[in-house]
Structures are given as structure tokens and as C-alpha cells.
Amino acid sequence: MKVAVVGATGLVGTVMLKVLEERNFPVDELYVVASEKSIGKEIQFKNKAYKIISMQDAIDKVADVAIFSAGGNTSLQWAPKFAEKGTVVVDNSSAWRMDKTKKLVVPEINAHVLTSNDKIIANPNCSTIQMVVALNELHKAFKIKRLVISTYQSITGTGVKAVKQMENERMGIEGEMAYPYPIDKNCIPQCDIFEENNYTKEEIKLVNETRKIFDDYSLGITATAVRVPVVGGHSESVNAEFHKSFEMAEVFDILNNTKGLIVLDNPKEKQYPMAKYSQHKDEVFVGRIRRDDSQANTINMWVVADNLRKGAATNAIQIAEYLLANGLISR
């Protein structure tokens, strides 16, 4: 099995290599790709040093699978060139997510849509992934009518530059700014850029990607995405209205039996998911589950996950695992 990791020196790329090792994904040959200034430098994987190579060199190696986390423009330019050689690309950027010819996949939900013809597969946005894992089985049982989402997103979702900004602020050092405002001891109600409708791209992703993954374009969805001074993971407050009525015991039973989801909900003992404790874990956590007394057939829930793992690297590698297990890439 020949595996390429593109964007290997970034926050997500680093975690991808870690997850490949932890999950013992079969890697006989590894090709690590980063920016031109990094070519020739070394990266450690399974106690072995690998030199960073150029994009073209990686293409010429004809990997079985290439896992991308190098930004949308890079993916648009290079992913098709990998695919032309027969390499299956799992892309973590937003470049292909809403392309009608590309599949948008969360393995627990819709990996079955993948075929051997899919050479570029899109990994959803981190906030979308954790939310749909929490909602999928409830959607099957009661059919979602409308979602109202508020996110509280880790600075790691922005990247190394944002982490450095917060560290500088905490040490009283002036430095490069990832955000237009200080992030330490602050919340910034802007994730990504504003569009013409005054929603940010992050908020629009939550709407469009959820509809595509569930293959249900009737869903009413609105979102507000907020950046918070947190490192561990993303948190979301989700208000979900369903078409069908339900008992709360049914809701808990469904959530407790949802693959990839851990229910942590004990108000008496002050037990609920928190970003701090989701860090370095692959599961999605859900808690604060309660009926919305203001509206019929509606619940509130709090959804938390490590945005670098299940929200990015782990989900991408789970896609690769599915492809391998089902003969869609061969070893």
C-alpha cells in the first residue's frame, strides 16, 4: 500500500500521520508532501525518517491513496492530477464538497455511496462531521424538520497561525494576527469570511453539507459560528425539530446505540461533554440532551469533538479504511 499525505507539516497533516500510525493503516510506502520551502526536510513516521517531496514527485510515485489537507486552491490544482494517475484522493479542504460529481462522506453515515469510480472524495467540514454523527440516527427515526446551530470553535480550526496568536497574547508578545481581533479572553462571532447574505462561509457549509450528506434538501438549517479561545475541540449547541413525535427515552436509546457517538449526560453529577476532554479522541460526544419545551417535537443537545481528529484526520482515514476493506483500493 502506497500512501501520500499532502500538507504533512500542517496541524491536520501532523495529526493524519499520527492517526495512520495509531490505527495501524497498512503503509508500505509513505510519501509526505508539503510546501516547496519544506522539500528535503524530514518527518518521522513509525520511528523512521521520511523526506518531504514535491507534489509532482508524489504524483509520479502513483500512490494508492492520497490524503490531502493543504487548502482548497492546492486541492483544486493538484487533486485531479493525482486522480488521473489512478490515485484515490481523500480531500479535507472545501474544494470538492459541493461538487455534484464528488461524494461528501462521513463513514458512519454514507460510506456506502462510494464506488471504484470515485477518485476524489470530499471530507466534510469539521463542524458538520460531528453534528451529523450525532443526528443521523435521530433523523432516520423522526426526520429532521429544522436545525438551529451555534458553534463554539477551537482556534486549531484556523491553524498554526491562530495558535501562535493566542500564545503570544497570553505572554504579552506582539506578533502576527490570524484574526482581526484578540482571541484570548474573547469570542469572535466570525469563522471564515462573510458572504453577501451576511452569513460566514463556515455557517453556509453547515447548511449545505448537512443537506448533501443526509441527501435531504428540504431541511431547514440556520447557523451562527463563533471562534473561542479553546484548543481541545469544537462544541455545538444544536436545536433540532423533528416531523415525528418522540419520547425522550427513545432519543437516549437511539443516541446510546449510535456508532461513533458517546453519550455523556448526567446533570445531577454535572457530567456533560467539554472540548478539553474531547482532545485526542476519535469519538463524538453528546450531552445536555433535553426536550425544548417551547416547541413541539424539538430537542436541545450539546455536541463536542476533537476537530483535528474526527473533524478532519480521523474521518479522512476512516474513508480510506472503508475503501480498502471494500476492495475500492487494492493493496
Taken in order 68, 79, 49, 158, the sign of the CA dihedral is negative
* Grid cell 477518485 in the structure block, residue: 119
Distance, CA of 128 to chain centre: 7
DSSP state of 312: I
Quick one: which of 212, 211, 194 has its CA closest to 202? 194
Mode of pairing for the β-strands spanning 284-291 and 65-68: unpaired
- What are φ and ψ of residue 224, in 5° steps? -130, 120
Beta bridge partners of 223: 149
Find where cell 499532502 sits: 6
Distance CA 130, CA 306 (A): 9
- CA dist 305 → 39, 132, 182, 233, 282 (Å): 33, 12, 24, 5, 8
Active site residues: 126, 234
**Amino acid letter, residue 99:** D
Instruction: Give CA 21 to chain center in angstroms.
Output: 19
